[in-house]
């Protein structure tokens, strides 16, 4: 029970990687706050976590700063603190640059980058007062190695590494660590959309010869958010079966 009574906020926590992260924290005794736009998945995941006294499932669009602030205030009113923030909400809108619309650029940057900024900014205030906190940003190997058709996504995920490193320097003196996890190819709704041809190509490049599962990522995240990682900050932990 290494997270006994810690309050953990997971964005995009209703499904996929975020859901598995939430379940892993719940197994460790944490109280969960899930921010997501998918109401059906939110209530299904809250039920799966179980005890309604230990989970707040809130419909929040992370791109909207006042929505984030309003709902963080609800959490503070209810539980008085937030110990851990996992910036996981993310989307893809893939296209080669000649066909990539301004709208697809803006939506991906808005959710993946600005959404993480909105949550980090709001929770930094809470954590600075507590003089303790842990933030883990979910980046991607695409932010490190690039990928054709993902200029918007790659920029957002590289940007998240930039946020991680600057924020680690800014908040270190207040006993707050900030790290990133960069997953490779993980089997979720997001990667279901990829064509079989691209999947096959990707598979050949993975030394461990399997695609990742959400739990592979969750284990890295809960490590970085645990006391075992108290002296680790500003780092990017790649969870990709050796792909990069
Ligand atoms: P999923 O699409 O399965 O889950 C993401 C969740 O975030 C969904 O419930 C989605 O709702 C929600 N969401 C989307 N936009 C917002 C928003 N504005 N505010 C709040 N919630 C939102 O994605 P994954 O689990 O695959 O990915 C999770 C994270 O991991 C993302 O940041 C992704 O970029 C990253 N990642 C994933 C990899 C993979 O291989 N799957 C690899 C590397 C990184 P809705 O369904 O309604 O859109």
3-class DSSP state of 191: helix
Ligand 1 close to Cβ of residue 58 (< 6 A): no
Confidence bin at 42 (pLDDT 50/70/90): very high
132 CB burial (10 A radius; 0-12, 13-18, 19+): middle
Q: Tell me the average pLDDT of the chain.
A: 97
Over residues 70-99, the mean pLDDT reads 98
Ligand 1 pocket, residue 88 CB under 6 Å: yes
**Catalytic annotation on 185?**
no
For ligand 1, say whether the CB of 14 is within 6 Å of any of its atoms: yes
The residues, ordered by sequence, that sit 6+ positions from 181 with a Cβ below 8 Å of its Cβ are 136, 137, 138, 139, 217, 220, 221, 224, 236, 237, 238, 239
Helix axis angle for 16-27 and 214-224, nearest 10°, is: 50
Distance 37 CA to ligand 1 centre (A): 10
Q: What is the mean pLDDT of residues 158-169?
A: 98
- The residue whose CA has the least distance to atom 46 of ligand 1 is 38
Q: Which helix (H) or strand (E) holds 41?
A: helix 39-49
CA separation, residue 224 to residues 84, 193, 237 (Å): 10, 29, 9
Domains of the chain: 7-239 (3.40.50.720)
DSSP percent split of the chain into helix, strand, coil, nearest 5:
50, 15, 30
Q: What is d(CA 154, CA 208) in angstroms, rounded to the nearest whole number?
A: 23
Query: In terms of Cα–Cα distance, which of 106, 240, 236 is closest to 163?
Result: 236
**Burial category of 27 from C-beta neighbours within 10 Å (exposed 0-12, middle 13-18, buried 19 and up):** middle
Candidate list 23, 153, 157, 163, residue with the active-site label? 153
Of 17, 23, 40, 146, the residue with max ligand 1 atoms within 8 A of its CB, to mutate for a pocket test, comes to: 17
| pLDDT of res. 53 | 84
The 3-state DSSP class for residue 30 equals coil
| CA–CA dist 241, 185 (Å, integer) | 9
Element holding 221 (H helix, E strand):
helix 214-224
In the predicted structure, residue 51 carries a pLDDT above the cut 90: no
For ligand 1, the distance from its centroid to the CA atom of residue 14, given in whole angstroms, is 9
User: Residue 70: pLDDT above 90?
Assistant: yes
Q: What CA dihedral angle connects 22, 155, 229 and 135, to 10 degrees?
A: -60
- 108 Cα–ligand 1 center, Å: 11
What pTM was estimated for this model as a whole?
0.98
pLDDT-based confidence at residue 52 (cuts at 50, 70, 90): confident
Encoded tokens for 89: 């909400």
If you take atom 2 of ligand 1, which residue's CA is the nearest one? Answer: 190
Residue 73's pLDDT is 98
What is the C-alpha to C-alpha distance for residues 238 and 18, in angstroms, rounded to an integer?
Answer: 17
Separation between Cα atoms, residue 174 and residue 5, nearest integer Å: 21
């Amino acid at each position: 029970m290494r997270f006994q009574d810690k309050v953990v906020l997971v964005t995009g926590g209703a499904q996929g990687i975020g859901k598995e992260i939430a379940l892993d924290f719940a197994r460790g005794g944490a109280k969960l706050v899930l921010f997501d736009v998918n109401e059906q998945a939110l209530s299904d995941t809250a039920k799966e976590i179980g005890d309604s006294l230990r989970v707040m499932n809130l419909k929040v669009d992370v791109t909207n700063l006042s929505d984030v602030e309003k709902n963080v205030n609800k959490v503070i009113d209810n539980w008085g603190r937030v110990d851990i923030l996992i910036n996981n909400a993310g989307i893809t809108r893939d296209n080669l640059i000649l066909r990539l619309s301004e709208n697809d650029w803006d939506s991906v940057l808005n959710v993946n980058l600005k959404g993480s900024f909105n949550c980090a900014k709001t929770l930094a205030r809470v954590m600075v007062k507590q003089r303790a906190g842990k933030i883990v940003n979910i980046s991607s190997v695409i932010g490190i190695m690039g990928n054709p058709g993902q200029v918007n996504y790659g920029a957002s995920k590289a940007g998240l590494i930039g946020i991680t490193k600057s924020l680690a320097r800014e908040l270190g003196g207040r006993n707050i660590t900030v790290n990133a996890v960069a997953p490779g190819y993980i089997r979720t709704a997001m990667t279901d959309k990829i064509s079989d041809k691209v999947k096959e190509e990707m598979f050949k490049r993975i030394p461990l010869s399997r695609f990742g599962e959400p739990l592979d990522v969750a284990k890295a995240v809960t490590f970085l958010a645990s006391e075992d990682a108290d002296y680790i900050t500003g780092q990017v932990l790649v969870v990709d079966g050796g792909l990069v």
